[in-house]
Amino acid sequence: MTMTLTQLGAFVLVARLGSVRAAADVLGVSEPAVSRAIAALRQHLGDQLLVRDGNGMAMTEGGSRLFGIASQMVALGSDAEAAVRAAKGAPARLRLLVASTIAEFIATPLLEAFGRRWQGTFDASSGVASVAEMRVLLPNRLADVALGPDLRGDASSGLISEPVLKYRIVLVAGRDFRAAGAPGRWPWLVDSSGTDPDSDTGRLLRGFRVPESSIRVFPNQTAAWAAAADGLGVAPAVATLVSRQLRRGELRVVDTELTPATACWYVTTLNPERRSAPARSLRNFLSTPDAMQLMCSPGTGVSPSRFRPPVYVTIWS
Amino acid sequence: MTMTLTQLGAFVLVARLGSVRAAADVLGVSEPAVSRAIAALRQHLGDQLLVRDGNGMAMTEGGSRLFGIASQMVALGSDAEAAVRAAKGAPARLRLLVASTIAEFIATPLLEAFGRRWQGTFDASSGVASVAEMRVLLPNRLADVALGPDLRGDASSGLISEPVLKYRIVLVAGRDFRAAGAPGRWPWLVDSSGTDPDSDTGRLLRGFRVPESSIRVFPNQTAAWAAAADGLGVAPAVATLVSRQLRRGELRVVDTELTPATACWYVTTLNPERRSAPARSLRNFLSTPDAMQLMCSPGTGVSPSRFRPPVYVTIWS
DNA sequence: CACGCCGATAACCGAATGGTTAGGACTTCT
DNA sequence: AGAAGTCCTAACCATTCGGTTATCGGCGTG
């Protein structure tokens, strides 16, 4: 009554090759075997998925949706065996979730330093997630540690957040910005955390009741700040991370009733007995002077071999 | 002889709950059923996956690797049905792959304009990918269109690249940068495309034989430029995208034997008969004046409801 | 128009999946 | 030590999955 990986594999191959017969040849089975695998999927999902199109097969819209998902599933299926086999004697893995602000400046150098400190005993990677996503990924063990706001919403989840670093949130704007009207009417330039209601940025936007029409979302903080420097509006920022732009005079601080404000980054893990070994290590590492130093000063980049592209948790479904 | 989704589902549940019995209760089946599902996985993968740990079960390293993958697979499995059902009468989907440079400034406003132009007939999303990834994702129909370098490596792949926009690559540095020695010895500040040998940045680094030790990778272009403005080194850039920083005098152009250079963005799709309808539409849209305008001027952000976080293709395995 | 190719369907079959109950080995708590 | 709980294994059974060969219907092409 449930889909099967072989069925999905057959479907993916047919969709890719545009032919049932060709797929059967590649798989080394008879053609009705493939045909029936697809028939089973059709019935289970209630969609034709693949329809005859002249010589070969074309995907319906539903089939196209399935295709992306099914491709991932079969790829993951083969990954699984490789991953488990490779795990024998391999370094333990640490998956760190970070809020987008942290991701941009801190996550990469932090993990780089962490990896250097433990010299191959840990294999660390980071992913960007919203607060809501962190709340579900951590208890489900899809990640080991989260770095961002306090996550102890409900004690039942078994999550423990501990303060790591206090910081100041300021509002910055270009040199020639003239404050006119209430802050809620200004143009706000934010990074993607502006769409996360539980983030600092989200709270700030809510605090000033900034209407959607006054918000421009940029793909990252630096781009938002560059736009602010160009006089397009105001942007929230962590004080230590914009110090260079402030020092050079590209940006200046704008005071409001809600800013400057102090906030705190927390490290969140499962409770101690359920906590994984890598999670324990990173949690300890965060309190070392090295880590403190990294978090206070803007990143200076990492060497290419160490670079890991950021990973976003949601994939196109 | 192959893993089953129900087996993986049982494994995930046991790992999450730390107990076979509890998982069996949740699933509403007898406890040996769950136990045997896990036994099958153990035998198939050659790893204990879950070992007794006092009262409950703890994951081995291999089990921990499997857990992330298996969780995704079962989640995707339930997504699949929802996605196919939702596809009835839903807008067609367009998945755009972009090089990281384009992703940062152009992809979001471009898709925003595209979506506005077609008013809900298309549902567009974008993902960042390296050139090598584009080459495999497009023929496999995991994406519809790619925007970036010329991809016609081998004609056999069925990919067609067409030029979209010429642009100038320049090298920028802070105001007080003093050229000393060969460009290969300078500190280079690049975004993640520096790790992609087929990108403009990668080619440039290779052209100057810049050693790894002289390269600092930043999470995005804007951050690399900010570092360059701070005097930390030189950074490659698309001329039209740094015009603001040049105009404000934060950055200046540094001439070398290889820069300024002209290059071109291409739109790549499958050959016309295999091309999807959304791919056709976007390809046409790219030649409109609106799109040209967008690609020439740096983005100004989008409104929150339109914002889609960028999607990276690689997931943690 | 007929031929050939392709895909769907039918009938059949072996194997293993997924479920049950019964019982043994081990840890933990009283 | 004994009781209770948990996990593994064994034996058994229904289902269906995945494979085969044979046949039918539709579509381009000669």
Angle (nearest 5°) at CA A272 between A266 and A275: 85
Task: Please provide the DSSP assignment of A165-196 as one string.
Answer: EEEEEEEEEETT----S-GGGS-EEE-GGGG-
Provide the 10 A C-beta neighbour count for residue A306. 17
- Distance between CA atoms of residues B113 and A264, nearest Å: 38
Mean pLDDT for chain B overall? 86
Kindly report the nearest CA distance between residue A213 and chain B, in angstroms. Answer: 7
- Residue ranges of the alpha helices (H) in A173-258? 200-207, 221-229, 243-247
What is the structure's pLDDT at A317?
32
A49 in contact with nucleic chain C (CB within 7 A): no
Hunting for tokens 């951050």 — which residue is that?
Answer: B223
Nearest to A45 among B60, B81, B218 (CB): B81
**Roughly what angle, to the nearest 10 degrees, separates helices B108-118 and B277-285?**
110
What mean pLDDT is predicted for residues B140-147? 88
Q: Decide if B244 touches A, using CB distance below 8 A.
A: yes
- DSSP label of A97: E
Query: For residue B315, is pLDDT > 80?
Result: no
Give the predicted TM-score (pTM) of the model: 0.83
Peptide bond into A260 cis (omega under 30): yes
B4 in contact with nucleic chain C (CB within 7 A): yes
Amino acid code (one letter) for B292: M
Quote the tokens at residue A300: 């200076």
**Roughly what angle, to the nearest 10 degrees, separates helices A61-86 and B61-86?**
180
Instruction: Determine contact, residues A270/A225, Cβ cutoff 8 Å.
Output: no
What is the structure's pLDDT at B310?
56
Query: For residue B217, is pLDDT > 90?
Result: no
Taking the CA of residue B85 and the C1' sugar atom of nucleotide D23, their distance in angstroms comes to 34
Q: Phi first, then psi: what are they for B249, rounded to 5°?
A: 85, 10
Quote the tokens at residue A134: 């962190």
Provide the 10 A C-beta neighbour count for residue B111. 23
How far does Cα B273 stand from its chain's mean position? 26
Taking the CA of residue A142 and the C1' sugar atom of nucleotide C25, their distance in angstroms comes to 33
Q: What residues pair up with B268 in beta bridges, in sequence order?
A: B146, B161
Quote the tokens at residue B139: 């023929």
- pLDDT digits over B50-93, tens only? 988 877 788 888 888 899 889 889 988 988 888 888 887 778 88
- pLDDT digits over B238-292, tens only? 998 888 889 888 899 999 999 899 999 999 998 887 788 889 999 999 999 988 8
- Distance between CA atoms of residues B68 and A80, nearest Å: 9
Q: Quick check: A310 and B219 CB within 8 A?
A: yes
Q: Quick check: A60 and B250 CB within 8 A?
A: no
- pLDDT digits over A248-285, tens only? 888 999 999 998 999 999 999 988 877 888 899 999 99
- pLDDT digits over A61-107, tens only? 888 889 988 988 998 898 888 888 888 777 888 889 988 887 777 88
Quote the tokens at residue A196: 């996360």
- Distance between CA atoms of residues B257 and B234, nearest Å: 14
Reported confidence tier of residue B312, pLDDT bands at 50, 70, 90: low
Q: In the structure, how many helices (H) and strands (E) does chain A have?
A: 12, 12
Instruction: Determine contact, residues B263/B167, Cβ cutoff 8 Å.
Output: yes
B54 in contact with nucleic chain C (CB within 7 A): yes
Q: Quick check: A76 and B72 CB within 8 A?
A: yes
How far does Cα A184 stand from its chain's mean position? 29
Taking the CA of residue A283 and the C1' sugar atom of nucleotide C27, their distance in angstroms comes to 31
What is the structure's pLDDT at A315?
34
- Distance between CA atoms of residues A262 and B102, nearest Å: 35
Neighboring chain B residues of A49 at a CB cutoff of 8 Å: 84
Amino acid code (one letter) for A210: V
Quote the tokens at residue A58: 């074309």
Long-range contacts of B113-119 (CB under 8 A, 24+ apart): B113/B290, B113/B291, B113/B294, B114/B281, B114/B282, B114/B285, B114/B291, B115/B306, B117/B285, B117/B290, B118/B281
Kindly report the bases of strand C lying within 7 A of a protein C-beta atom: 5-11, 16-23, 27-29
Angle (nearest 5°) at CA B263 between B259 and B266: 160
Which residues, 6+ apart, have CB-to-CB distance to A173 below 8 Å? A228, A231, A233, A234, A235, A251, A252, A254
Length of chain B in residues, anyone? 317
What is the structure's pLDDT at B316?
42
State the Rg of chain B over Cα: 25
Peptide bond into B139 cis (omega under 30): no
Q: Decide if A262 touches B, using CB distance below 8 A.
A: no
- Listed residue (B165, B154, B158) closest to B101, CA to CA: B165
Residue of chain A nearest B90, judged by CA positions:
A61
Q: What residues pair up with A235 in beta bridges, in sequence order?
A: A172
Taking the alpha carbons at both ends of chain B, their separation in whole angstroms is 23
A43 in contact with nucleic chain C (CB within 7 A): no
Amino acid code (one letter) for B270: L
Please identify among residues 140-199 of chain A the ones whose CB lies closer than 8 Å to any CB of chain B.
140-142, 189, 192, 194-195
The nucleotide lying nearest B42 (C-alpha to C1') is: D8
B234: Cα within 13 Å, side-chain hemisphere: 27
Q: Phi first, then psi: what are they for A62, rounded to 5°?
A: -65, -40
- Element holding A83 (H helix, E strand): helix A61-86
Which residues, 6+ apart, have CB-to-CB distance to A92 below 8 Å? A121, A122, A123, A276, A277, A278, B61, B64
- Distance between CA atoms of residues B50 and B39, nearest Å: 10
- Element holding A164 (H helix, E strand): strand A159-174
* Strand duo A159-174 + A234-238: pairing: antiparallel
In three-state form (DSSP H/G/I as H, E/B as E, the rest C), the secondary structure along chain B is CCCCHHHHHHHHHHHHHCCHHHHHHHHCCCHHHHHHHHHHHHHHHCCCCEEEECCEEEECHHHHHHHHHHHHHHHHHHHHHHHHHHCCCCCEEEEEEECHHHHHHHHHHHHHHHHHHHCCCEEEEEEECCHHHHHHHCCCCCCCEEEECCCCCCHHHCEEEEEEEEEEEEEEEECCCCCCCCHHHCCEEECHHHHCCCCHHHHHHHHCCCCHHHEEECCCHHHHHHHHHCCCCEEEEEHHHHHHHHHCCCEEEECCCCCCEEEEEEEEEECHHHCCHHHHHHHHHCCCHHHHHHHHCCCCCECHHHCCCCEECCCCC
Low-confidence spans in chain A with pLDDT less than 70: 154-157, 298-317
Residue of chain B nearest A81, judged by CA positions:
B45
The nucleotide lying nearest A42 (C-alpha to C1') is: C8
Angle (nearest 5°) at CA B27 between B22 and B28: 95
Neighboring chain A residues of B304 at a CB cutoff of 8 Å: 194-195, 212, 215, 217
Size of interface A-B (CB pairs under 8 A): 273
Angstrom distances, CA of residue B308 to CA of A98, A117, A273, B109: 18, 36, 37, 10
Kindly report the nearest CA distance between residue A15 and chain B, in angstroms. Answer: 9
- Distance between CA atoms of residues A153 and A282, nearest Å: 22
B36 in contact with nucleic chain C (CB within 7 A): yes
Nearest to A217 among B60, B142, B301 (CB): B301
What is the structure's pLDDT at B192?
84
Kindly report the nearest CA distance between residue B257 and chain A, in angstroms. Answer: 24
Q: Quick check: A79 and B69 CB within 8 A?
A: yes
- pLDDT digits over B153-165, tens only? 766 667 889 999 8
Q: Decide if A56 touches B, using CB distance below 8 A.
A: no
